[in-house]
Amino acid sequence: MNPEYQHAKYLNHKEHAQKYAKEHYNGEGYGSRRLCQWRWAKISIATYGQFLTLLAMAGYQCEICGTKLTERSAHVDHNHKNGKVRGILCMKCNNALGKFGDTLEGLMRAVRFIEEN
């Protein structure tokens, strides 16, 4: 694809995303606390204080791999069926669980694959 076209497409998307954030998140931007609180409400975390408590209980590190976490890098992992919070993870571990379907069966298939190869 044409590099100039790709760059123009990127700039157009960036401009659209910034405009959308200003309109929908009261000018606070995509990573705003207001947006995070809306996302937390969907997974039974009502307040920023509850998020900080979970993060502190996890020792400011991913509960799977131990990577150090900050307020901005921490992800609240939850069960997609019932919304129950499972813990605090780094982005890589949270995404990995999702890629395996958030199921023990998916993870066990991956373990068997690694063991066999």
Q: Are 67 and 36 in contact (CB under 8 A)?
A: no
Instruction: Name, in order, each residue with C-beta under 8 angstroms of 69's C-beta and a sequence gap of 6 or more.
Output: 55, 58, 60, 61, 62, 88, 90
The model scores a pTM over 0.85: no
pLDDT in tens, 22-31: 665 554 444 5
Residue at 20 is within a domain: no
Q: Give me the CATH number covering residue 67.
A: 3.40.1800.10
Strand partners, 45: none
Q: How many domains does the chain have?
A: 1
Predicted confidence pLDDT, tens digits, the chain (117 residues)? 677 766 666 666 667 666 666 665 554 444 555 555 545 555 666 677 888 888 999 999 999 999 999 888 888 888 878 878 889 999 999 999 999 998 999 999 999 999 999
In a domain, 79, yes or no: yes
Q: What domain range includes position 79? A: 48-116
